[in-house]
Chain A
Amino acid sequence: MTADGYGKTSQRLERREVVKALLAERGELLVIAGLGAPAWDATDAGDHPLTFPLWGAMGGAVAMGLGLALAQPGRPVLVLTGDGELLMGMGSLATVGAQRPRNLSVVVLDNERYGETGMQASHTAFGVDLAACARACGFRCAALVTGMAQVAALRADIHRAEGPLFVQIKVAQDKLPLVLPPRDGAHLKNRFREALLGTDAHFRR
């Protein structure tokens, strides 16, 4: 065992291609993007008022997606995050499992690295199987995706909202150019609420 983990994963997809495919024809989709690379990937696919890119709250993306899914049961909700961010909030998989909202999907872009802090190996590099954890926590479907051909079907499953769904996608470890979303949290919150609830949201009591 080295600092890089137990060994190589055979098939790694290109993360920006994966995210563009998942967010294509997004329709009613509401998206939470975990901090770091997933937020840059989502922004590269096209910044959108109904994509909330996190700049902090590490470990909170799944719980945040759950709150949103419970508030909007008629809309598909996607939490798009990384292995490190998800590992910090593992308990939230059980919290989702105890609620089982059908409209929630969690997709983990797993590069087995903490990308923003120097590409240190994460627990998935040492064999931790996140999909198995999600299955054990009660997700209706939990799977590992290893080919781009499966990504189109995954996009359809997200919109079908027969979850909660958990998918782990092994992605390449290349550091890609930063594509930064807005970082003003109040603006991100307001534009999301306005796009989803209308300008009426600002007048609610």
Chain B
Amino acid sequence: MTEHWSEGLHRLFGQQNIRQVSFVPDAGHAALIRLCEADGRLRAVRLTTEEEGVALAAGAWLGGDKSVLLMQSSGVGNCINMLSMLSVCQVPLAMLVTMRGDWAEFNPWQVPMARAAGKVLEEMGVLVSRAEREEDILALAEGTLRIAYNTLRPAALLIGQRLLGAKTFDN
């Protein structure tokens, strides 16, 4: 049975010595969140809003821990001002963003942040790449983690909605 990419990402976190994984839960990250919560080597931190994960990462880095922030595209909008601290202080962070609103979306309220997410992150100094094919996810995620922690910058991978599957809102 082939491995799901969430298992590959979890393994990558172990290889890259990620110690804190923060998230506001998203369906696209559900399997990865379960794996992180079950992993005694890292701390899974549930957030009330995604901007907490940015500040958490800065504190973690001061203390010597690498972290990853998992969020939905809508959560990117909640991070904008807090991202200032990462560029001013040169604090690295890898962000994995599951997209809503960019393919077959049912909910109109998801579309504006989908359009804005990549641009907003770039405007705030984040290096952004996008995975649109399942076979690219692991290589791009590894690239995002490595470039963040090697070059001491925030970096984000946007994972396209088409490869996650759109939420159907059917009963």
A56 to B84, Cβ gap below 8 A? yes
Interface contacts (Cβ under 8 Å), in number, total: 125
Asked whether B45 lies within 8 Å of A95 as measured between CB atoms, the reply is yes
- A193/B64 contact (C-beta < 8 A), A67-B20, A71-B19, A95-B45 known: yes
With contacts A63-B56, A63-B59, A70-B20 known, is A201 near B64, CB below 8 A? yes
Query: Could you say which of A12-20, A106-114, A164-172, A183-191 contacts chain B?
Result: A183-191
Contacts of B40 in A (CB 8 A): none
Q: Which of B46, B47, B63, B67 contacts A72 (CB 8 A)?
A: B63
Quick check: A65 and B64 within 8 Å, CB to CB? no
Mask for B78-89, Cβ within 8 A of A = 1, else 0? 000110110011
Is B36 an interface position by the 8 A CB rule? Answer: no
Determine if B47 and A95 form an interchain contact, defined as CB atoms under 8 angstroms apart: yes
Question: Is there an interface contact between B45 and A70, defined as CB atoms closer than 8 Å?
Answer: yes
B window 94-119: CB within 8 A of A: none
Contacts of B45 in A (CB 8 A): 66, 70, 95, 98-99
Q: In the complex the two chains form, is A196's CB within 8 Å of B52's CB?
A: no
Q: Are A192 and B56 in contact (CB under 8 A)?
A: no
Are the C-beta atoms of B64 and A64 separated by less than 8 Å?
no
Instruction: Check if B62 sits within 8 Å of A91, measured CB to CB.
Output: no
CB of A39, distance to nearest CB on chain B (Å)? 14
Among B43, B51, B57, B60, point to the contact of A59 (Cβ < 8 A).
B51
In this complex, the member of A52, A54, A57, A192 whose beta carbon has the largest number of chain B beta carbons within 10 angstroms is: A57
Q: Say whether B55 faces chain A, with CB atoms less than 8 Å apart.
A: yes
7 nearest A-B pairs in the assembled complex, by CB-CB distance: A71-B63, A67-B59, A91-B48, A60-B55, A185-B89, A67-B60, A64-B59
Query: Beyond A59-B51, A186-B88: 7 further Cβ-contacts under 8 Å?
Result: A57-B81, A63-B51, A70-B60, A70-B63, A70-B65, A193-B61, A205-B149
Interface residue ranges, A against B (CB under 8 Å): 30, 32, 52, 54-61, 63-72, 89, 91-92, 94-95, 98-99, 185-186, 188-189, 192-193, 196-197, 201, 204-205
